[in-house]
Amino acid sequence: MRTKLKNGIILATGENGDFQVLEGCSLVVNDKYIEYIGPEDDAPKADVEKDMKGRILMPGLVNSHCHGPMVLLRGIGGGLALQEWLETAIFPIEDKLIPEDVEIGERWAVMEMLASGVTCVSEMYDFPAKTWDVLKSSGIKGNVCRVGLSFSETEEIPKNRFNECISLVKDFKDENDRVISELCLHSEYLTNETFVRKIAEANSELHANINVHVSETKREHEECKARHNGLTPIGYLEKCGILNEHTYAAHCVWVTEDDIAIMAEKNVSAVFNPSSNCKLASGFAPINEMLKADVNVGIGTDGTASNDNLNMFEELHLGALLIKNIKSDATLLNAEQVIKMATVNGARALGRKDTGELKVGKRADIIAVSMDKPHMYPAFNIPNLLTYSAQGSDVVMTMVDGQILYENGEYKTIDAEKARFEMKKCIERIYA
């Protein structure tokens, strides 16, 4: 089936990789792919036509680090420092969660993301089979893992956990590649060396992505050095053979110059989590240094317990402001670069080279941003407007692989009323 999006302002990607803002053009989607971008006169005929006047069409946002089911813990423990926050607010509630809760929470998270323009998300949480099912049935793209954990330093590899990590990658396949299973190491501090090395060894055959938290807090970074003869988390993970182009590392707040050089050499991607790092006062990730070293950087919301929403437009906005202010340099990081981090670079981090850009031949992961509200006019510079002025609530259409999943407040693949009812029941139970 062909769908034509007419009369919109299109944030297309040119041959050189730069954005081109096209007005008065049409974008035609054929099945899952973008077939045509150009003047209406030359556009192929379509089965469905949608008028996008007053809408900006841009690539869907890629939330490159998230723990979706944490919507069940939205905002709890606000104001506590990280360790206390985890021990007194988060863990006691997480201990109560059953697989059905994760399913309900993930569905609620997907609704929030679709309504604010996310077309692809990286998920790391317990009961990944439930997350997988929700992503698959909703139609959103996502990477899913079994959280890699092996708590004690001296513990043998916990065989069950290791096997679950591997079997998720082997057994969970989506013929359309909308949902991809991958490997995970929660972090250096929650895995032992044997476990990390076993995952590295297994991945030399599996070639899956590896999702890992790195140097989120100063304490984590320093304790790793004390445990491993001065090696930082990146240095240690490199020694264990886990770093390569399939690895993407969330946070990277305390990474050093040497760490950044290793990440560049090994083609490791980083994920910037501006709101979460600010809320937990974890510090400021050296994003500018990473970009200068050609490290691929995506953007993520992290879980809602430390954000407290899944609105990627806020991350674009805050991320851009932070990077400029850390260096007291307003010329750093233009809006185009920020949008790329939240789209094509995030897609690359998640091992998805066929999306993240509005370009012929790419997957049709497209969102429409309304320009109706006062804060969206005048529109002198579209990338600037999207980065500094647009809100998640301006999104009026979210399309994944050519299929519209959300349009003008309506979900096409999710029963929103039922989801709200289940969410309410679930919250009442876990906080009783």
Which residues lie near Zn ion (CB under 5 A)?
302
CB of 338 to Zn ion, least distance (A): 21
Name the residue nearer to Zn ion (CB basis): 94 or 302. Answer: 302
Name the residue nearer to Zn ion (CB basis): 190 or 379. Answer: 190
CB of 280 to Zn ion, least distance (A): 11
Name the residue nearer to Zn ion (CB basis): 238 or 302. Answer: 302
Report the 10 Å Cβ neighbour count for 99.
14
Cross-strand bridge partners of residue 369? 56, 395
CB of 66 to Zn ion, least distance (A): 8
**SS3 assignment for the chain:** CEEEEECCEEEEECCCCCEEEEECEEEEEECCEEEEEEEHHHCCCCCEEEECCCEEEEECEEEEEECHHHHHHCCCCCCCCHHHHHHHHHHHHHCCCCHHHHHHHHHHHHHHHHHCCEEEEEEECCCHHHHHHHHHHHCCEEEEECCCCCCCCCCCCCHHHHHHHHHHHHHCCCCCCCEEEEEEECCCCCCCHHHHHHHHHHHHHHCCCEEEEECCCHHHHHHHHHHCCCCCHHHHHHHCCCCCCCEEEEECCCCCHHHHHHHHHHCCEEEECHHHHHHCCCCCCCHHHHHHCCCCEEECCCCHHHCCCCCHHHHHHHHHHHHHHHCCCCCCCCHHHHHHHHHHHHHHHCCCCCCCCCCCCCECCEEEEECCCHHHCCCCCHHHHHHHHCCHHHEEEEEECCEEEEECCEECCCCHHHHHHHHHHHHHHHCC
CB of 67 to Zn ion, least distance (A): 6
CB of 144 to Zn ion, least distance (A): 14
CB of 371 to Zn ion, least distance (A): 33
Nearest residue to Zn ion, scored by beta-carbon proximity: 302
Name the residue nearer to Zn ion (CB basis): 308 or 357. Answer: 308
Name the residue nearer to Zn ion (CB basis): 188 or 365. Answer: 188
Angle at 340 between CA 336 and CA 345, to 5 degrees: 160
Name the residue nearer to Zn ion (CB basis): 10 or 305. Answer: 305
Name the residue nearer to Zn ion (CB basis): 50 or 279. Answer: 279
Q: How do 19-23 and 33-39 pair as beta strands?
A: unpaired
Name the residue nearer to Zn ion (CB basis): 190 or 416. Answer: 190
CB of 90 to Zn ion, least distance (A): 12
CB of 33 to Zn ion, least distance (A): 32
CB of 361 to Zn ion, least distance (A): 33
CB of 217 to Zn ion, least distance (A): 12
Name the residue nearer to Zn ion (CB basis): 237 or 405. Answer: 237
Name the residue nearer to Zn ion (CB basis): 103 or 220. Answer: 220
Residue from 43, 63, 48, 42 nearest 250 by CA: 63
